Structure 1
């Protein structure tokens, strides 16, 4: 079975939960930016959380299926159309052979997901089917989809068994708001900020700029101030520079003290900018849901609070699958 791509959309890629264990050699984890939405799409069509999906950015593809297929569209709000007729999002859909799936204008957020029963069946590279476009690995030939591509779909899991419910209840659907409070753990280099600089970071309002992709998201706002110091050899002249260090996924950099950048799932693994904080893992999906112009405040939490938030997110996913009657 395959999807025939008629028009590819702006940046449609194959993604799954990502590839781990290779960050130390400069290969990022990649994977769906909004893992929660992708996982619920998989649950709707009877997949486990690890099956590959199509991640659509702003403008989605138009595709046809060469066999009957079960799909679901989750994530950012967008008009879903089958043969030109509107169909609900966050709901399991039956496609017949030859049907066309297409999309209207996105109404919030940036990315939505197409899950299909059996998952997108491209080869695994380093343990993942995710596309890392900069490195041209994984996904469909290491790139975003193009018109004329035939994207293979795997065989249904568990003899084609589907969850009891065909719709994700409203209480389990994420919100795509115009304002966000993003929790961060300060460090490793927040001590290089002045008192005013730290206050601006935590109490100022920052807005997401259009300069945002899978590598990182740039914000504009009040800026920060750095303590004047004698730069160590090799660190460069700007006080926001350091001698090279490794970057955690979710690291916040503020080059030159002006615009923070949150590194996301395709970001480089090291460099020479000071990391003043790191977005907690439980809020990385939240960051991925932001559209340009989203007003954002950074809220400092402890590592213990971050661990609790991670457990709460895992429990939310578990409860959402239970509400669907989904296994795995």
Structure 2
């Protein structure tokens, strides 16, 4: 069982739940940018949540299946075509050998996901099949798919759950052009001036086209920093610090102008102050944003962040019951 890739799309990579446990060595966790959407696709085809899927960015691939297959497409809204006939997202789709799968123009967001029963069966690297292009590991030769690739599919799986034909509308993610992103302040928000902190939390920030798996850059009014003597080992930019580790979701503001949210393929440390961190429950929300999305950063407490993580996990768990 395999897919023949006729056209690769803009950037189609193999992703799963991520490469956990190696961030301290400089290897990011990676994995699907929108974990919830990827999980929905796996549930529809009868996989476990851990199977690898194809993550498509803006323009998806054109592929042909070599054998009968069950697939599902979730994530950003896009037209799905099987042999030229439109099929629905968030539904279980059966293919027969020789069927061609391709996609129309994306209608929101940036990424959608293709799951197939059995999962994408590339070799595991450090416990994950996820593609990390900068490190050239995982996926298909550590890179995005290319025309002519043969993508293998794993053996049949019994996940012990009843077959699911579609995802209820209330359980599907929303792709909005106007979002509130919850953050916890720190570790270096104390370097912002009072006006700078107020600007961060009260201003409207707009996602720029400079956005990928490593990070997403926003435009806006900027922020101010407190005057201070830079410590030995730090750069001269007011946002510079002596190098420190970065949490996934950290927000940096180089020069005090454009905030950057570090996402799943971000580096694990560096010399820019992290003034806030996006809570884990909102990382998928950030991944669903397309350039031009209006964004406000909303400060929450640790207890609120933990409650949000519980709610996120409970929503996902409903799909797997």
Q: Does 1:38 align with 2:22?
A: no
Q: Is the 8 A contact 2:44 2:163 kept in 1?
A: no
2:276: which partner in 1? 277
Shift of residue 162, structure 1, vs aligned partner? 6.9
Distance in 2, Cα, partners of 1:238 & 1:263:
19
Matched residue SS, 1:54: strand
Give the whole-Å Cα distance in 1 for the aligned partners of 2:213 and 2:104: 22
- TM-score, with normalisation over the residues of structure 2? 0.99
Unaligned runs of 5+ in 1: 323-328
After TM superposition, list the pairs within 5 Å mapping 1:1-328 onto structure 2. Answer: 1-158=1-158, 163-322=162-321
CA gap of 1:82–1:162, structure 2 versus 1, over 3 A, is farther
Asked if the contact 1:43–1:163 (Cα under 8 Å) also holds between the matched residues in 2, the reply is no
The structural deviation recorded for 1:83 is 0.5
Q: 1:162 to 1:102 in 2, by over 3 A?
A: farther
Q: 1:133: how far off?
A: 0.3
Q: CA deviation at 1:204?
A: 0.1
- Is the CA contact (8 Å cut-off) linking 2:70 and 2:94 kept in structure 1? yes
1:253-298 CA-to-partner distances (Å, cap 9, x unmatched) read: 0000000000000000000000000000000000000000000000
d(CA) in 2 for partners of 1:228, 1:320: 51
Shift in Å, 1:165: 2.9
Q: Is the 8 A contact 1:67 1:98 kept in 2?
A: yes
- Relative to the length of structure 1, the TM-score reads 0.97
Structure 1 residue 238: deviation in Å?
1.3
Aligned residues: 321
Distance across 1 between alignment mates of 2:292 and 2:219: 9
Q: Distance in 2 between matches of 1:89 and 1:285?
A: 18
In 1, Cα distance between the equivalents of 2:17 and 2:65? 24
| 1:163 Cα deviation after fit | 3.4
Per the TM alignment, residue 250 of structure 1 is displaced from its structure 2 partner at its CA by 0.2
1:116/1:106 Cα in 2 relative to 1: closer, same or farther (>3 Å)? same
Contact 1:15-1:129 within 8 A present in 2 as well: yes
Within 1, Cα distance between the matches of 2:320 and 2:93? 18
What value does the CA root-mean-square deviation take over the aligned residues? 0.9
CA distance in 2, matches of 1:161, 1:28: 32
Q: Deviations over 1:89-146 (max 9, x none)?
A: 0000000000000000000000000000000000000000000000000011100000
Q: Tell me the alpha carbon deviations over residues 137-174 of structure 1, each in whole angstroms, 9 at most, x when there is no partner.
A: 0011100000000000001101x977333000000000
Hey, what's the Cα distance between the residues in 1 that align with 2:108 and 2:116? Answer: 23
Distance 1:163 1:99 in 2: 26
| Alignment partner, residue 325 of structure 1 | none
Please list the CA deviations of residues 24-46 of structure 1 after superposition, one character each: whole Å capped at 9, or x if unmatched.
Answer: 11000110000000001000000
Evaluate the alpha carbon distance shift between residue 229 and residue 161 of structure 1 in structure 2; reply closer, same or farther with a 3 A threshold. closer
Offset, 1:319: 1.2
Contact 2:18–2:30 (CA under 8 A) maintained in structure 1:
yes
CA shift, 1:320, in A, is 2.5
DSSP 3-state at the match of 2:79: strand
Question: In 1, Cα distance between the equivalents of 2:310 and 2:115?
Answer: 25
List structure 1 runs of 4+ shifted beyond 6 angstroms. none
Q: Residues 43 and 164 of structure 2 are in contact (CA less than 8 Å); yes or no, is this contact kept in structure 1?
A: no
